[in-house]
Amino acid sequence: MTNVAKPGVLPACPHFSSGPTAKRPGFSLEKLETAALGRSHRSGDAKKKLKAAIDRSKAILGIPDDYRVAIVPASDTGAVEMCMWSMLGAKPVDVFAWESFGQDWVTDATKQLKLPECETYGADYGQLPDFSKARDDADIIFTWNGTTSGVRVPNADWIKPNPDRVVICDATSAAFAQDIEWAKLDVVTYSWQKCLGGEAAHGMLILSPNAVRRLETYTPDRALPKLFRMTKGGKLNEDLFAGATINTPSMLCVEDYLQALDWCESL
């Protein structure tokens, strides 16, 4: 066994909040009085706020114009899993993991979806796997910034462009914290409670045109729960990417996220 010394320096703000970050400076519940409460999330006011959350996220993060962004259920986890269940199986799959969430995607791929031709590459906490083993023709799943290990990928140079595959990136602790190479990624996910200190339960799903093409041309041989369905009649459900959420979102959390975006812009 290795004895690790207790850290001698404590963080200036020790609050865990609803993610690994505390609430933004100046936060108070009173400032959320402008939330669209007590009405349907499909009402005019609520849909405007949901669409603003999508559009402003896209602008602040520099997401390409032809990528689509949606608010989905079940936080970052739900966003990743709805894409794994909907898209994987058409090609071989490489999964890279070096912390607990990446190991969840390994479990999903190998024990739940039981994907054929699935290769997994792992590393101990504090280390990164060998990304040079990524196959040029395989779908890829990886975590950009390891929430539980504190280790992130330095770049996406190891990902070879290939329009016939999809690259799924769990970026929940990377979005708003560091640069993300959007052009190399087809599915990117994050959640509000991480780098912005927002509230939990909602996920953000970002799809490239290539990811949309996979959704519209591949039909998996498995049942898809309602929360995972992104197409209608073989075509992408565009309403989902205009603020018409699959389930009922918390408009209080939406308001908090919009104000977190205000704070982000102020920096």
Q: What is the CATH number of the domain that holds 165?
A: 3.40.640.10
Average pLDDT over the chain, rounded to whole?
A: 94
> Which pTM was predicted?
0.94
| Residues in Cβ contact with 239 at an 8 Å cutoff, skipping those fewer than 6 apart | none
Query: Whole domain around residue 256: which residue ranges?
Result: 62-266
pLDDT tens for residues 208-217?
Answer: 999 999 999 9
Contact by Cβ (8 Å): 168, 176: no
Phi, psi of 173 (to 5 degrees): -105, 15
- Residue 51: inside a domain, yes or no? no
pLDDT tens for residues 47-68?
Answer: 999 999 999 999 999 999 999 9
User: Is a pLDDT exceeding 90 seen at residue 79?
Assistant: yes
Counted domains in the chain: 1
Nearest to 36 by CA among 25, 22, 51, 23: 51
Angle value at C-alpha 156, between 198 and 58, nearest 5 degrees = 40
How many Cα atoms within 13 Å fall on the side-chain side of residue 61? Answer: 30
**In whole angstroms, what is the distance from residue 220 CA to residue 170 CA?**
21
- Residue 55: inside a domain, yes or no? no
User: Is a pLDDT exceeding 70 seen at residue 152?
Assistant: yes
- Residue 39: inside a domain, yes or no? no
User: Is a pLDDT exceeding 60 seen at residue 17?
Assistant: no
